[in-house]
Amino acid sequence: MKRIKIAFWSLVALLGILWLVVDPRVLQASGFFALRGSMVQLSGILAMSFMSVAIILALRPRWTERWLGGLDKMYRLHKWLGIGALLVASIHWLWSQGPKWLVGFGWLTRPERGPPKVSANAVEETLRSWRGAAEGIGEWAFYLAVLLIAVALIQRIPYRFFYKTHRLLAVVYLALVFHTVVLTDYSYWTSPLGAVIAILLAYGSWAAIVVLARRVGAARKVAGTITRLHYFPALRVVEGEIDTPDGWPGHKPGQFAFVTWDESEGPHPCTIASSWNPSDHQLTFVSKALGDYTGRMADSLRVGQPVKIEGPYGCFTFDDDRPRQIWVGAGIGVSPFIARMKQLARDRQFYSGRPRCQAIDLFHTTADWSDEAIAKLTKDAEAAGVRLHVFHNARDGLLTGERIRAVAPDWKQASIWFCGPAAFGDALRNDLLGHGLPSAEHFHQELFAMR
C-alpha cells in the first residue's frame, strides 16, 4: 500500500509543480475569471493524467507490477486513479459550467471580452477553430465516463456487465484526448509540463487502442484444456486441473492467472493452487462461488473444455529473509499456500539433504467446513513440513492476532503472509503492528480484487 500511495501522490505533486512553473497566475490576485481559467486548466490536466495512467495500467505492464509489488496492488492504484479522475473531472466540469450559470442568474458579471486573438501560428489557429467541437465532445464524454466508472465501482452490478461496458472507457478516453489537445493552453505545449502531458496522452492513446482491439495480455496467453474437475459442495468451491502443453512459462507458488472459459464473460482471476512441474504441465485452480458467474461454474464447466490462461501475475511469492513465516489463509484465501506447500513437499523429496531454513505455521480459518478439503489440506501440510492450525468459525470462534501470538510465541521474528478478506487482513495487520511487529513491510497481503 505504501508504494501505491507514493505513486499516486508523486504524480499529483509532479503535475502540480510543473503547472505552477508554467502558469503562476493562480498565485496572483487577478480576479475570479482569471482564477477560473487556471483552475479549469489544472483540473483538466490532472483528470486526463489520472485517466492516462489508469488506462496504461490496464495493459498489465510487467515493470509496474514488479515496482508496485504485484498486479493486485497495480489494480488498486488503477482504481484510485479512476476515482481520482472522476472527482477531479467533476471539479473541472463545475469550474467550466458553474460561472456560466451564475452569470445567467445575474449573480456574477462576466468581464468585457477584448477583440479575438490572432496568432501567426497555424497550429494554434487550427486548434482554436476546433474549440466548440472539443467543448461539446468533452462534455458528453464526461457524462459517459461518470456512468461507466460508476458501473465499475458498484459491486452489485454483475461482473459480466462490468466487463462488457468497461472497455467503452477507452473510446471515452480517446474523445477526451481530442478535448484535451484542443483546449489545453497552447503555451503549455512548449514547457516541461506539455512534454509530460504529451507522453501520457500518446501512451494512453496507444493503450486505449490495445484495449479496444482486445489485445491486453495477448503475449502472455496460452491455450489449455480442462482435464479434471472436483466440486466441494459444502464449500461451494470448484477445483479444476488444466493441461497447458505449450507456452506456459512457469510460475512461482502464490501467483495467479486470468482464466477465460467463456469469451462472453471475459477473463476471471484465479489463484494457482499447484506448483509448476514442466514435465506434466498441469495447473490447478481453485475458485469459490462468490458472484453470479462463479456461482454457475460447477454446472457450466466440463472436462475437455478449452480455456485460455494469461499470466502468471503477482508478487505474493513467499520471498524474504526472515527466520520463520506465518501464513494466514481465510476461506478460499488458502489457495496460494496450497501451491507453496506442494512446492516445499517436492523440494523435500528431491533435496532431502538440504537443511530447512524457515519454520512455517499455517493458520486456516473458515466459515464453511468440508472433511474432504481439510483432509487434503492436512496431507499437504504434513508433506511440506508445515504446522497447520485450522479454525472453524462456528466451532472455534474467530481467528485473532492474540490467538496467533499464543500459538507462535516467536511471531515477531516471522514474516506474515495473509490472503483473505481485505477487512480481516487490515485488522490483523494493525493488531500485530500494535503488539510489536517490527515493520509493516513484514506483513504481506494479497489485495485480490480486480474492480
Amino acid type, 181: V
Q: Does the pTM of the predicted model rise above 0.75? A: yes
In the prediction, which pLDDT does 118 show?
Answer: 61
Weakest mean pLDDT among 150-159, 176-185, 301-310, 434-443: 150-159
The answer on pLDDT for 435 being more than 90 is yes
Spatial CA neighbour of 168 closest among 182, 183, 152: 152
Amino acid type, 449: A
Inter-residue contact 270 to 259 (CB < 8 Å):
yes
List the domain boundaries for the chain: 2-212, 219-313, 324-446
In the prediction, which pLDDT does 116 show?
Answer: 63
In the prediction, which pLDDT does 269 show?
Answer: 85
pLDDT tens column, 300-317: 789 999 999 999 999 999
Cis ω for the linkage preceding 312 (within 30 of 0): yes
| Grid cell at residue 345 | 513437499
pLDDT tens column, 370-388: 999 999 999 999 999 999 9
The answer on pLDDT for 293 being more than 60 is no
Question: Which residue is it, cell 498486479?
Answer: 71
**Domain 324-446: CATH class, spelled out:** alpha beta
- Residue 376: half-sphere exposure toward Cβ, Cα within 13 Å: 14
Amino acid type, 374: I
For residues 38-61, one letter each, b for 16 or more C-beta atoms within 10 angstroms of the residue's C-beta and e for the rest, the string is bbbbbbbbbbbbbbbbbbbbbbbe
| All residues at 6 or more sequence positions from 117 whose CB lies less than 8 Å from its CB, including other chains | 128
In the prediction, which pLDDT does 291 show?
Answer: 58
In the prediction, which pLDDT does 295 show?
Answer: 58
The CA R_g of the chain, rounded to the nearest whole Å, is 26
In the prediction, which pLDDT does 430 show?
Answer: 95
Residue 53 backbone dihedrals phi, psi, to 5 degrees:
-65, -40
In the prediction, which pLDDT does 298 show?
Answer: 65
Helix (H, G, I), strand (E, B) or coil at 364: strand
Mean pLDDT of 15-35: 83
**Domain 219-313: CATH class, spelled out:** mainly beta
Helix (H, G, I), strand (E, B) or coil at 367: coil
Inter-residue contact 158 to 264 (CB < 8 Å):
no
Arithmetic mean of pLDDT over the chain? 89
In the prediction, which pLDDT does 347 show?
Answer: 86
Q: Identify the residue with better confidence: 365 or 121.
A: 365
| Grid cell at residue 156 | 452489485
In the prediction, which pLDDT does 40 show?
Answer: 94
The answer on pLDDT for 197 being more than 70 is yes
Residues paired with residue 330 on neighbouring β-strands, in sequence order: 365
Give me the CATH code for the 2-212 domain, please. Answer: 1.20.120
Instruction: Write out the H or E segment, with its range, that includes residue 40.
Output: helix 32-57
Mean pLDDT of 276-289: 87
Highest-confidence segment of 88-92, 268-272, 312-316: 88-92
| All residues at 6 or more sequence positions from 307 whose CB lies less than 8 Å from its CB, including other chains | 223, 224, 225, 226, 242, 259, 260, 261
pLDDT tens column, 98-155: 888 888 887 877 777 666 666 667 888 888 889 999 999 999 999 999 999 988 888 7
pLDDT tens column, 311-348: 999 999 999 889 999 999 999 999 999 999 999 998 88
Weakest mean pLDDT among 207-221, 281-295, 310-324: 281-295
- How far is the C-alpha of 273 from the C-alpha of 386, rounded, in Å? 16
Sign of CA dihedral 83, 90, 19, 194: positive
Write out the DSSP string of 250-262.
Answer: ---TT-EEEEES-
- How far is the C-alpha of 261 from the C-alpha of 315, rounded, in Å? 25
The answer on pLDDT for 189 being more than 70 is yes
